């Protein structure tokens, strides 16, 4: 039994994957810089650990936005 799919549905699947991957890549790039700088701050001033953790969590919103956009796209496919 072969599975067939029309072109707009396939392109929407690809767009959802790109939205998810873009959010993940952007989060990784942002956290790499923040993590390196944050370790330097914590080494010099350990009382700033909470602030550094807060700034390290902020880029996670990029992942969440990518996930939400991908989820909206997928729901449009499943429930037109």
Q: Mean pLDDT across the chain, nearest whole number?
A: 88
Mean pLDDT within 2-27? 88
Q: What is the sign of the dihedral through the CA atoms of 11, 13, 15 and 18?
A: negative
- The reported pLDDT for the residue numbered 1 is 67
Question: Which DSSP state fits 79?
Answer: -
28-39 pLDDT, tens digit each: 999 999 999 999
At residue 9, does pLDDT exceed 90? no
CB 20 within 8 A of CB 41: no
Domains and CATH numbers, the chain: 16-78 (1.20.20)
At residue 78, does pLDDT exceed 80? no
């Amino acid at each position: 039994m072969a599975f067939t799919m029309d072109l707009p549905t396939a392109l929407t699947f690809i767009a959802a994957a790109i939205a998810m991957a873009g959010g993940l890549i952007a989060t990784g790039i942002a956290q790499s810089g923040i993590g390196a700088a944050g370790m330097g701050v914590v080494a010099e001033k350990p009382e700033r650990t909470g602030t550094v953790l807060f700034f390290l969590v902020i880029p996670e919103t990029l992942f969440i936005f990518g996930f939400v956009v991908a989820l909206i796209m997928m729901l449009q496919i499943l429930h037109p």
